[in-house]
A and B are shown apart, each in its own frame.
Chain A
């Protein structure tokens, strides 16, 4: 029993000593960001895998952007592809795309980077086909081979596929070291860090998965991004946005990048010593119509209902009230800033609700009002503000007096199954691009397919351009084929305009908002604006303080 008292005393003394020792420090830790020379970046994104074969998500891509080289890449502030590990890339024939590799490239572990590594990197993504990986991006690639030490030849499924060079910059594009990465399985993160098969602007010097990662500048890197402005960048991974907010507000970190709520961002805009920087947006929020199950007695009536809805929503109000202007109104499926983007919906329906126009459209088509719309949204996949957003949409539609909205929500697991099973007539979806090209906002939504033959195409199950239905659209198919294979910029943009005009007329989707990229930096941090560009790549090389 004496031990009890002694034990209790020891515990009490230890605790008191601990608190006393802790209190001896200054109010802030002695080693806060301010005292270090590097830049501390905080994020709530998670890394699924450093290995490109096992990930296709923002958190992993941010790491990959820093540590791997790509054949082609986007320099800061540009969406024009420039050679990175490649010396040059071009179509040799309509279905072969050939890249010459720069001589003398090496991975940080000393292994040479050759054409064989490049071919290996693409092949293993397809072979492994990890469910979390980017193999779906390589559907355009029939095969790839290293024809000599410095030449890689891609054979493509379709001739003159202008989107293929863009694929080389996506999550499918990082070049890995053939000698350290297995061909048939994903390399786990610790092994990837240990293997040091990196040839990007940074290498990883310390790594604790989804906790901390320290990046050191790679002195041998000579690619698109140029020499890093900061030698050391540390990434801290947060579980909750409020902790990220608290740390940037206290200036315990230098940069907060993804993802703070609109309310948090609005709050931080008022904080002293912080700069909220916004950049080109890529994310798209939109309503999808299932053309086979939506209200309307005929294809014409269905189209009229969609057009009337397009005339009744107030995107500016959604952006301001729900998203505190961290999103902007989207008047096309191709967001503003992308080459070839237009404002087709604004041209067709105006930028504010027009009740008279909506009423006329419905009346001309013989649609009885109010039209009952069963509108589904998802509360757990597209951000916590979806709830407010779709309640606002319901209010706007009902304010016209032309619609009665039955708003329902379903969790993602069920939602993703049910919208594919035609369970929802009108429903919410969102899109984040794979690469910054207008086609990536069009083909996945408008490409022809056949549900009966299970031919792949439109992923939304809207049945638009479904060849087995009355909603097949050969004109759209032709336009898409034209823009994908047109190497001439001006004529391609003209075709893109025709596609967007047709889309605004048919309205299989109703674009609502496009999201800006937002980062918050403490005073003195430079380069944030340079990296928040339309390439959607967060480059540490631009950052300094």
Chain B
């Protein structure tokens, strides 16, 4: 991939002094500040687009409450929600609301969007975490295997597998998994069995991240139950990213193996296993971390379908519910939240990459 071509091997000596110079910011600090500065316009563009798109698709009050209220009542609701004011005034109020952490209130059930984040965001976070693990566990070793057997039948099969899991719609994979596992009693919906969910409501402090709550409760049977419930949704969503990781690791590994320093290592008589493990494989993994940041957005998008398929009541599930009810104020709030999460995660990944790979900060 292009990323790998740009990057030089990490094991090569670094001629540049990496420590901070007196009176100047260190390269790392400069890099992070630049990234942070770029984050602000990115988030601004995102939230502005969400705001404009929600206005383009029509009047949210009419969409949510049309047919249930008279024209006068609709007009009253519009005034209450400030939708009768000039668009610039609405935009200003929307932005200042975001600064205050106010993402608005849903039209159909009067919930604060920030409350939805607290109650449902943790579920999405947990699903994304399990999915990334699946993606790593599936993508990295299989990518390595494919590179090792380049153009032989294991490679061909694995490349085909990666295309299949990437191309297959996540709800379809989810449905297949349910049909395959449910007859054997494997749980196919929810985040834990009903009685365990009830038990975990008593955990203090409650994180809403089911596995952490289960660990805090300390019953191995409940931990096992939570893991069992997470397996199918994590597989459905994780395989999507796993396919990307597989191809990425394969291509990067093949390119790294052709580089001069690897040839030099081989010339020094270092064993092929050591060349692969110590010199090539680690470098091939760096772009995976970068791509992982991009995949977060994909995961959150996929979470809408995965959460609905598996009754995983996270942000994606709530978003689909409000879309069905045409509660566009709720949709606006949740999409803005997701946009902010994607922005924050991108920044976080940039920070990790900067620490892992010193070249990016120069």
Contacts and interface: CB of A to CB of B under 8 A. Distances in A.
A247 B225 contact: no
Contacts of A234: 194-195, 198
B309 A27 contact: no
Interface in B192-225: 193-198, 201-202, 220-221, 223-225
Contacts of A1: 10, 282-283, 356
Interface in A225-245: 234, 236, 238-240, 243
B326 A212 contact: no
B55 interface: no
B182 interface: yes
Contact of B194 (A8, A23, A33, A246): A33
Contacts, number: 150
Nearest to A18: B227
B313 A210 contact: yes
- Which of B68, B107, B198, B313 has its CB near the most chain A CB atoms (within 10 A)? B198
Interface string B171-203: 000000010001011111110011111100110
B15 interface: no
A240 B23 CA distance: 61
Interface stretch (B38-46, B59-67, B160-168, B334-342): B59-67
Contacts of A280: none
A408 interface: no
Interface string A416-455: 1100100000000000000000000000000000000000
A19 B201 CA distance: 24
B111 interface: yes
Contacts of B10: 1
A49 B309 contact: no
Contact of A240 (B195, B221, B311): B311
A413 B119 CA distance: 29
Interface stretch (A9-17, A75-83, A143-151, A495-503): A9-17
B311 A238 contact: yes
Given A12-B137, A15-B134, A25 B67 contact: no
A15 B225 contact: no
Given A4-B285, A239-B311, A239-B313, A21 B223 contact: yes
Contact of B195 (A31, A209, A239): A31
A125 B312 CA distance: 34
Given A22-B228, A29-B196, A30-B225, A186 B188 contact: no
B311 A11 contact: no
Contacts of A214: 198
A413 B196 contact: no
Given A19-B227, A246-B188, A131 B69 contact: yes
B111 A243 contact: no
B221 A188 contact: no
Interface residues of A, number: 60
Contacts of B223: 21
Contacts of A210: 313, 321
A28 B185 contact: yes
B321 A413 contact: no
Contact of A36 (B66, B69, B195, B317): B195
Contact of B184 (A27, A211, A253, A417): A27
A417 B308 contact: no
B51 interface: no
A31 B66 contact: no
B110 interface: yes
Interface string B1-32: 00000000010000000000000000000000
A208 interface: yes
Contacts of B310: 243
Contacts of A515: none
A132 interface: yes
Contacts of B185: 26-28, 250
A206 interface: yes
Interface string A17-58: 011011111111111110110001000001011000010000
Contacts of B187: 29, 252
B189 A24 contact: no
B244 interface: no
Contacts of B260: none
Nearest to B221: A30
Minimum-distance CB pairs A-B, first 5: A416-B67, A27-B185, A29-B193, A31-B195, A22-B228
14 contacts: A1-B10, A1-B282, A1-B356, A5-B277, A25-B225, A27-B184, A33-B194, A48-B108, A49-B110, A234-B198, A239-B320, A239-B321, A240-B308, A246-B188
Given A1-B10, A31-B196, 17 more contacts: A4-B282, A4-B285, A15-B134, A18-B227, A22-B224, A22-B231, A29-B195, A31-B195, A32-B195, A36-B195, A132-B109, A206-B198, A212-B198, A240-B309, A252-B193, A413-B66, A413-B326
